[in-house]
Amino acid sequence: GENVEQHPSTLSVQEGDSAVIKCTYSDSASNYFPWYKQELGKRPQLIIDIRSNVGEKKDQRIAVTLNKTAKHFSLHITETQPEDSAVYFCAASRGGFNTDKLIFGTGTRLQVFP
């Protein structure tokens, strides 16, 4: 089945610096890759996603890139702010009716220091 590995497990950056979180997946049939943010004590929330027919997607300070050949995708956060501090999860799925499950990585705890 699908396996998603996520690195690093913790990441500390200075406010204003960039942060990059990387994930690799094993199932070449996966075609949907969302990223969720979970603040302390809160529920996970979708922040950005990308489909396999797209190599990069941006939304203000966050971007996701996908390399299908290498089977890895990354989250990029620029100009980090203290409110970006949270745990970030990547996930992968095949998509399609009843054929897939959303498999999550183990999470990255990002700390942004003022």
Partner 1 sequence: DAGITQSPRYKITETGRQVTLMCHQTWSHSYMFWYRQDLGHGLRLIYYSAAADITDKGEVPDGYVVSRSKTENFPLTLESATRSQTSVYFCASSEDRVKENEQFFGPGTRLTVL
In the complex, the residues that contact partner 1 under the rule CB under 8 A are 1, 6, 32, 34, 42-46, 49, 51, 89, 91, 93, 95-98, 100-107
Backbone angle region of 61, left / alpha / beta, with phi > 0 → left and psi within -120 to 50 → alpha:
alpha
Q: Please enumerate in sequence order all residues whose Cβ is within 8 A of that of 97, keeping only pairs 6 or more positions apart, or say none.
A: none
Nearest approach in angstroms of CB 71 to partner 1 is 18
In angstroms, give the least distance from the CB of 27 to partner 1: 13
Q: Which helix (H) or strand (E) holds 67?
A: strand 62-67
Choice between 87 and 112, CB closer to partner 1: 87
For partner 1, the closer CB: 40 or 114: 40
